[in-house]
Amino acid sequence: MKHIFKLTTLLLFMVALVFSCKKEELDIAALTDFPPGIASVTPGDGTKVNQADFNVVVKFISGSVSPLASASVKLLDAAGATLATSTETLSGTSDSIVIAGSTFNAATLPLGQYKIEISVTDTKGKTQVRTTAFEVFKLPSVGIIGSATPTGWNSDTDMLHVGDGNFEIVMTFVAGEAKFRADNDWAVNWGAASFPSGIGTQDGANIPVPAGTWKVTFNPGTGAYNFSTALTYASNVSGLYLLGSFNNFQGEDYGFNLVSNNTWVLDEILIKPGALFKFAEYPSFMGRNWGDDEPDGRADEFGKNISFANAAGEAFYKVTFNDKSLLYTFEFLRYPTIGIIGSATPGGWDTETQMTDKGNGNFEVTLDLVAGEAKFRANNSWDTNWGAGDFPSGIGTQNGPNIPVPAGRYKVTFNPGTGAYNFEVDAGFQNIGIIGSATPGGWDTETPLRNNGDGTFEIILGLKGGEAKFRANNSWDVNWGAIDFPLGIGTPGGANIPVPAGLYLIKFNSKTGEYSFQQTTVGIIGESTPGGWGADTDMAADAADYAVQKLTITLTGGGAKFRGNHDWKYNWGADAFPAGTGTQDGSNIPTTAGTYNVTFNVNTGEYKFE
């Protein structure tokens, strides 16, 4: 019995050993048997390649249990035409395919978009496919020019292309200005008003450059430039980065520049209250990093995450860090957006109107406002807003009262740094019309008034009995009305104006809302008329339509025109006879001698001599 037990135990041990070996072998296979992969593609997906002789290179990898077997690489143009292809047998766990640039004339390849189609298979038949895209472009020569450079504004100093579309130069500058140019010509140039970094734009401002020896980098594709000191400063770290909740605590997006001994500066970052961050020596937490345990503005090595807090709220800030004292600061630069909002604005209290950053701390916008109230906001949010009780200028305070605004067209200026604002009266609304049942277009189509350029508008018009209102910009967003006739002051959204039938000289002031309907006349004047060019012969309105003026008159032959209110400000003419359509300040009408029944429609300009 003892022997049977020993034999059974031995058999069980051997079975367990066999199964354990198979499990170990399976684990090893699982770790080394994965589908083939595409390790890298050159040119890279989404990159730009200079029009020059380049190769297409694709590197492959696979596990040791199922090594690489074969792969295919195809280069196509934007239309899908194949320019080059290569299908090769591969081996091992890593291999590559190279399509030489000479096979598809890379140096003369037309500018534009291209695709690379890739397929790779391993010895077990597993396949991986991928399509990438790149762009071929012509890299210009790039130089820097200006009063700050050694050759002044006379000639460029060429910069060196260092790859990825970036150009660099180290040069000693005098205090002055500079710009970047392509191909030694002003046809393509970049500039901006900011230093030491910024985004240059076509025909942008000259870059202000202080004296010093600077390492200059510039990318013509993006316009991004940077001037960093070429001098050597003392430092306790090899580099510095800001890592936080805004970049998942990793990455090189927010790298600092060493600007003096132990002093690092990040020119700008958009950050909002509550964002968590730390300072780090590398673009990850592989090396030293600094938080703030108190927080008191002095960093602690491996300290707690810092929660950003600033009374200015979400905005762009300049960050300074001293790697010796560990003191750090955030300096407010500007808000991303500033807008004006309120019942006086086109968007009411629901949608703000964006203002333009002028680059000097001020934001501006010119717009039509109705009588109401307004405030300024940052970042389309009520978190940061300014108001005051003064008009047309004042100092807005955070969460201050609504600004009272009368109707008008204004150039509005606001400085979020100081809170100072100003509403400067513009020439007024650019377009004013009259609309209503009394007008030629009824309530469907307004009749535009003449803009006098000072905020006042006028027109001579034949009206039917009915109602009317004044509108701005062919829209009901801004309209004026009142119950008074023939004089009154229209209020925004006011009542319809009651109008009896008649021929009127209509005047309207878009700044004050004042209006008038003055009965007037239309006459004919000219060398062929009884009064010559010195006096009108008045016409009479048709009983059924005040817009139609009639007259029976004997003409001697020669030029003639129609004139309103005995004033050359309102005159109509054309070069057609005996019928035509007169236009404001048109040609003299060439009449012939005879007695005529003359009709003229003030509203349309149509005339007849019968």
Q: What is the DSSP string of 37-90?
A: EEEEEESPTTEEEESS---EEEEEE--SSS-EEEEEEEEEETT--EEEEEEEE-
Number of domains making up the chain: 7
pLDDT score recorded for residue 359: 77
- Identify whether the C-beta of residue 573 lies closer than 8 Å to the C-beta of residue 587: yes
**pLDDT tens digits, 477-534:** 889 999 999 999 998 889 999 999 999 999 999 878 899 999 999 999 999 999 999 9
Q: How many CA atoms lie within 13 A of 62 on its CB side?
A: 26
Residue-level pLDDT at 312? 84
pLDDT confidence band for 6 (50 / 70 / 90): very low
10 in a domain, yes or no? yes
Q: Would the pLDDT of 24 be above 50? A: no
Do 41 and 133 lie in a common domain? yes
Is residue 180 a contact partner of residue 198, using CB atoms and an 8 Å limit?
no
Of 96, 117, 137, the last residue of a domain is 137
Angle at 383 between CA 382 and CA 384, to 5 degrees: 90
Q: Is 90 a domain residue? A: yes
**Looking at 490, 519, 548, which one is the last position of a domain?**
519
Tell me: pLDDT of 2 over 50.
Answer: no
503 contacts 496 by C-beta, under 8 angstroms: no
Computed over every residue of the chain, the mean pLDDT equals 90
**pLDDT beyond 90 at 16:** no
* Region of poorest pLDDT, from 156-160, 225-229, 518-522, 545-549: 225-229
Say what the pLDDT of residue 34 is: 67
pLDDT of 131 > 80? The answer is yes
First to last CA, the chain: 143
The partner residues of 118 in beta bridges, in order of sequence, read 73, 130
Whole-angstrom distance, CA of residue 565 vs CA of residue 573: 16
Domain end residue (candidates: 425, 440, 457): 425
Residues 20 and 86 occupy one common structural domain: no
Looking at residue 199, what is its pLDDT?
94
Two tokens at 465? Answer: 């009995």
For residue 137, pLDDT beyond 70:
yes
**For residue 598, is it within any domain?**
yes
Q: Is residue 191 part of a domain?
A: yes
The more confidently predicted of residues 556 and 46 is 556
Residue 427: band (very low, low, confident or very high) from pLDDT cuts 50, 70, 90: low
**Distance (Å, rounded) from C-alpha 138 to C-alpha 48?**
10
How far apart CA 341 and CA 327 sit, in angstroms, is 39
* Amino acid in the structure at residue 305: N
Task: For residue 462, give the nearest of 511, 512, 502 by alpha carbon.
Answer: 502
- pLDDT at position 420, please? 96
Q: Is the dihedral of CA 517, 521, 527, 533 positive or negative?
A: negative
Residue 558 domain flag: yes
Structure token digits, residue 14: 């051997």
pLDDT at 33: 62
What range defines the domain where residue 88 resides?
37-137
Tokens (6 digits) for 108? 């003369």
User: Which residue is listed with tokens 């006086």?
Assistant: 344
Domain co-membership, 181 together with 131 = no
Q: Same domain for 129 and 72?
A: yes
Does 551 lie in the same domain as 472?
no
Q: Is 236 domain-assigned? A: no
Cα Rg of the chain (Å, integer): 39
pLDDT the model gives residue 23: 37
- Same domain? For 514 and 526 the reply is no
Same domain, 456 and 480: yes
**In a shared domain, residues 282 and 303:** yes
The answer on pLDDT for 17 being more than 50 is no
User: Is the domain of 440 the same as that of 459?
Assistant: yes
Domain co-membership, 218 together with 262 = no
Does the pLDDT value for residue 22 go beyond 70?
no
State the average pLDDT over residues 412-430: 86
Chain segment 288-320, per-residue pLDDT in tens: 999 999 989 999 999 999 999 988 888 999 999
Supply the CATH number for residue 312's domain.
Answer: 2.60.40
Assess if residue 235 is contained within a domain. no
Is residue 234 in some structural domain? no
Which pTM was predicted? 0.41
Tokens representing 180 are: 């970047």
Residue 588 tokens, joined: 């003299």
Q: In the structure, what pLDDT confidence band is assigned to residue 13 with cuts at 50, 70 and 90?
A: very low
The reply to whether 461 and 419 lie within a common domain is no
Q: Residue 578 is part of a domain; what is its CATH number? A: 2.60.40.3620
pLDDT band at 286 (very low <50, low <70, confident <90, very high): confident
Q: Of the candidates 251, 259, 206, 256, which has an alpha carbon nearest to the alpha carbon of residue 230?
A: 259
Do 491 and 535 have their domain in common?
Answer: no
Residue 8 scores a pLDDT above 50: no
Burial of residue 606, with CB atoms counted within 10 A of its CB: 0-12 exposed, 13-18 middle, 19 or more buried: middle
